[in-house]
Structure 1
Amino acid sequence: MKIIVPMAGMGKRMRPHTLTVPKPLIPVAGKPIVEWLVEDITRTCKEKVDEIAYVIGDFGAEVEKQLIAIAERLGARGTIHYQDEPLGTAHAILCAQSALQGKVIVAFADTLFRAEFTIDESRDGVIWVNRIDDPRMFGVVKLDGEGFITDFVEKPQEFISDLAIIGIYYFKDGEYLRKELQFLLDNDIREKGEYQLTNALENMKRKGTRFVPGKVEEWLDCGNKDATVHTNKRVLDYQAGAATVAASVKQEHSVIIPPCFIGENVVLKNSVVGPFVSIGANSRIESSVVSNSILQTGVTLKHANVDNSMIGHSAQLHLRPEQLSISDYSTSHH
């Protein structure tokens, strides 16, 4: 089994946090989004995952090393593939064409899910969906009476179905998928200017491939700041009971309200932290109240009241904010 993780997008909706860190490497509950994703998928596979292929932009050697280490921790080989321009989902997957063989899972790296399922590897293909209120921003599927997928529609402006494709797919035959993706590029078949995976799925279905929907209990989007803070809250919720405060944390006249993730060598002084807070290593929180927020590594807070916020690496903050979205290396004094 191989997992392909397209993650080359710049994450514009997550700026300023993605100016120095690619979106899938933003930590949620102490671990990068992409690490939670591939861990969860590996757990649902009956068969051993032998390769995790990441499709990235020019993220630099440090990020590549981090991604390969994530794969190796799961007992798989990590490989790096590049998508130099954003030409759509079909093009992104094809950038990892050496991994398109045998059984393949494609998982786009801005989504997390909660589900108790095992992949039915005997199926031609499984497409994970989630029922949502407003499907206009997503690809959706329609089902027939037997539960097979009959239609794929990209961002329907009129109501067609409320089963949104969440960005995780299983294919029994990776080589067949590769040929169908290549067909779109060879014949310049685009939708809204891009090569879309849904067009390849439609062609495969027409030729007799039978796709079934996979259902998740909860779909967690990490597309923007509010969604990512909410995802952090839900993941901490699931982890409740696990020890998520590092032994090296120094607490002075401070209270931690669980669930929280607090990394190595964090100093808490005269502060209340939690619930639903993630704090990266080497941060210092003084005379502050922090709830429902993500603080990355090396953050300094003094006299701050922080809620529903994301604060980037090495940011320093000396004020009384309400809701924030502050980038890496920012400094602010009040």
Structure 2
Amino acid sequence: MKIIVPMAGRGSRLRPHTLTVPKPLIPIAGKPIVHRLVEDIAKVLNEPIDEIAFIIGEDFGEKVEVDLREIAGQLGAKGTIYYQDKPMGTGHAIMCAADSLNGPAVVAYADTLFRADFKLDPSADAVIWVKQVEDPSQYGVVQLNDNNEITALVEKPEEEVSDLAVIGIYYFKKVEVLKEHLQSVLENNILRGGEYQINDGILGMMTSGNVFKTGQIDEWMDCGNKTVTVDTNSRMLQFLKEDGNSLVSDTVTLTNSEIIEPCYIGENVVLENTTVGPNVSLGDNCKLTDVTIKNSLVQHNTVIKNAKLNNAMIGSHAVYNGDFTEISIGDYSKLE
């Protein structure tokens, strides 16, 4: 089994945090988004992952590539790096990894986290993972026939089609079939909004008789902007606590301080006269003095003093000393 991860966009809606780190490598509950994504996919598939192919931007840098290969290695898989030089759509991004498009594979966009417990239908040629939503008109949804097979993908339907929204994760029993149809999309210059889309490749597969089924997830968490990313961090912490995970490092130093779970606290964090939690993630080597913080996400090597924070997102190597509450500070920033 392979996992194909298009992630060439840096994530402009999450700036300033993505100016120095691509969005899929932003930590959620102490682990990069893309790391949690591929781990959760591996759990659902319940079979060995041979290769994870990452499609990234050419400007992401060597460290990002090293980190991604390490993520693949932790799952016992080969990490392969491909580049998408221009933002030309999901179909184009997938085809940038053409050399890896063979055999069974999952294609997953690296800005979504999920919780699920289902078995892949062995009778299906492909599976599209979906989530039941209250307002289908805000999403792309699947249309089903009487056999619960997917017959169409409808983007933001004005009339009732279904309430099953596409979350951006797909399984293909033979991903080379998708490759064949996406190649046709590229050769025939089939564009939507100036881009080549995966949906046109999927439509070609359906027209050729391939059977698509749904895999319905329990929870769908977005990481599109600061507010929803902080919320996703809080929800993930709750799930991890329910699963019985240990989230607070043994190397934390507490002086007249309290941790209200659930929280993720990384290595060598120092807390002085501070209350942390609930729903806070602190990366490695942070130091907080005279701080009250809840429902927030702080990366590593950051110093915070004299602050009362809620719904805050602070990057790495930042220094903050102030009286504000709801903030968004990128890497290497200083407010003193």
Q: TM-score, normalised by structure 1?
A: 0.97
* Contiguous gaps of at least 5 residues in structure 1: none
Match of 1:5 in 2: 5
Deviations 1:286-323 (A, max 9, x none): 00101011000011111101111110111111112221
- 1:81-160 matches, within 5 Å, as 81-156=82-157, 159-160=160-161
- 1:1-334 matches, within 5 Å, as 1-57=1-57, 58-156=59-157, 159-240=160-241, 241-333=244-336
Letter of the 1:7 partner, please give it. Answer: M
CA contact (8 A) 2:121 2:213 kept: no
Counterpart of 2:76 in 1: which secondary structure? coil
Letter of the 1:281 partner, please give it. Answer: D
Letter of the 2:298 partner, please give it. Answer: L
Deviations 1:179-200 (A, max 9, x none): 1011111000011111111111
1:121–1:313 CA distance, 2 compared to 1 (3 A): farther
Partners of 2:299 and 2:10 lie apart in 1 by 19
Deviations 1:209-264 (A, max 9, x none): 11011100010111111111111111111111322111111100000001111011
Give the number of aligned pairs: 333
Letter of the 1:54 partner, please give it. Answer: F
Deviation at 1:134, TM superposition (A): 3.4
Partners of 1:201 and 1:305 lie apart in 2 by 49
Deviations 1:127-151 (A, max 9, x none): 0011223344532211112211111
Deviation at 1:122, TM superposition (A): 4.1
CA contact (8 A) 2:44 2:116 kept: no
* Contiguous gaps of at least 5 residues in structure 2: none
1:223–1:3 CA distance, 2 compared to 1 (3 A): same
Partners of 2:21 and 2:163 lie apart in 1 by 33
Deviation at 1:158, TM superposition (A): 5.2
Partners of 1:193 and 1:154 lie apart in 2 by 16
Deviation at 1:121, TM superposition (A): 4.2
Counterpart of 2:233 in 1: which secondary structure? helix
Partners of 1:49 and 1:4 lie apart in 2 by 11
CA contact (8 A) 1:153 1:198 kept: no
Deviation at 1:117, TM superposition (A): 1.8
Farther off after superposition, 76-85 or 134-143: 134-143
Counterpart of 1:44 in 2: which secondary structure? helix
CA contact (8 A) 1:154 1:198 kept: no
Q: TM-score, normalised by structure 2?
A: 0.96
Letter of the 2:285 partner, please give it. Answer: N
Counterpart of 2:229 in 1: which secondary structure? helix
CA contact (8 A) 1:285 1:302 kept: yes
Partners of 2:149 and 2:91 lie apart in 1 by 22
CA contact (8 A) 2:126 2:171 kept: yes
Partners of 2:137 and 2:24 lie apart in 1 by 24
